[in-house]
Amino acid sequence: MGVTRKVRDLARQRKSFSPEYREEAVRLVIETSRPVAQVARELGISSHTLHNWVNTYRREQQEANAAADLTVDERARLRELERQNRELRTENEFLKKAAA
């Protein structure tokens, strides 16, 4: 077995974690104020992975707090723009596929 094949096999063994598992792991870091590396070791996952999850959680919380500061009109406008953005992305993907 060549080295490149071993690397490919290792890459395929990537674990996937449920959203509930991720939330619980992040909660352990946030609520207990324990280091990410310690919690990751206890859970048997990479500290880099857990660190990414914690950063994502914190970023989402900041965005949620910023959205809470919006007025009713601003929130409605934001929802409308997000809807339009989703529609345009879908159209764009469709047109890319049709052109190929």
Whether 34 is covered by a domain: the verdict is yes
Confidence of residue 7 (pLDDT cuts 50, 70, 90): low
* Structural domain containing residue 56: 17-99
Whether 56 is covered by a domain: the verdict is yes
Whether 61 is covered by a domain: the verdict is yes
Whether 1 is covered by a domain: the verdict is no
Whether 6 is covered by a domain: the verdict is no
**CA–CA gap between residue 78 and residue 72 (Å, rounded):** 10
Whether 5 is covered by a domain: the verdict is no
Residue 65: per-residue pLDDT: 80
Total number of domains in the chain: 1
- pLDDT tens digit sequence for 37-91: 999 999 999 999 999 999 999 999 988 887 777 788 888 998 999 999 999 999 9
pLDDT exceeds cutoff 90 at 25: yes
CATH number at residue 24: 1.10.10
Query: With left for phi above 0 and alpha for psi between -120 and 50, is residue 18 left, alpha or beta?
Result: beta
